[in-house]
Amino acid sequence: MRYSRVLIAAMLIGVATPALAQESTLDLFAKLVGGLVDGGQVSLGALGAGAVTRVAGNAFEVHFPQGDPARLVFEQPLACVFLEEINLPGQGSTTIRLDLNQVTSIQMLDQGQFNELNAMAMQFEGPEGTAQIVSVDGTAQNIAPVASVVTSLTSADLEAAAKALRQACPGPKG
């Protein structure tokens, strides 16, 4: 009898573990558009490559060999609507809004290696207003819904994040 309880408990743990291990949509979004995972590396323009540290549930810092870290904070104010606040040393803050409810597809193009990291270009297909820069006062300006990341993640990692995010946020019903 005791053996069967242990076996059932082990089976339940085995069944429950994948559900607990699933990444949130915020995690998937940070991974896809920023190439960000705790312990990974990314390159941010002229700042170069740096080590990624998750500093809070929805915030990451990128530590460079010299200078202050960059800070990227992600929010999800509505289902499948994401905000990314980017704070780069000496450059101020920018907030980008991407509404995956409007995205009909995500086109990805592997750009190969760049400074020993993996480069990926992405385009989020959707109508005008899919991607916006949001100012401090809340006004928004439409921008091209594209992203480019240089990361220690592989193209397979990024494509898997895109697929999982599309399953959670399938886009317009039509």
Instruction: Report strand pairing: 92-99 vs 146-151.
Output: unpaired
**What is the CA 142 to chain-centroid distance, rounded?**
20
pTM: 0.84
Mean pLDDT of 118-129: 96
Secondary structure string (H, E, C) spanning the chain? CHHHHHHHHHHHHHHHHHHHHCCCHHHHHHHHHHCCCCCCEEECHHHCEEEEEEEECCEEEEECCCCCCEEEEEEEEECCEEEEEEEECCCEEEEEEEECCCCCEEEEEEEEEECCEEEEEEEEECCCCCEEEECCCCCEEECCCEEEEEECCCHHHHHHHHHHHHHHCCCCCC
Which tokens hold the place of 16? 């429950």
Mean pLDDT of 63-89: 96
Instruction: Say yes or no to pLDDT of 103 above 70.
Output: yes
* pLDDT confidence tier of residue 121, bands split at 50, 70 and 90: very high
* pLDDT confidence tier of residue 6, bands split at 50, 70 and 90: very low
Identify which has the larger pLDDT, 99 or 4.
99
pLDDT at 127: 96
pLDDT at 57: 87
* pLDDT confidence tier of residue 69, bands split at 50, 70 and 90: very high
Identify which has the larger pLDDT, 39 or 5.
39
Measuring CA to CA, which residue among 67, 22, 57, 65 is closest to residue 36?
57
Instruction: Say yes or no to pLDDT of 10 above 70.
Output: no
Measuring CA to CA, which residue among 113, 155, 117 is closest to residue 40?
117
Instruction: Say yes or no to pLDDT of 15 above 60.
Output: no
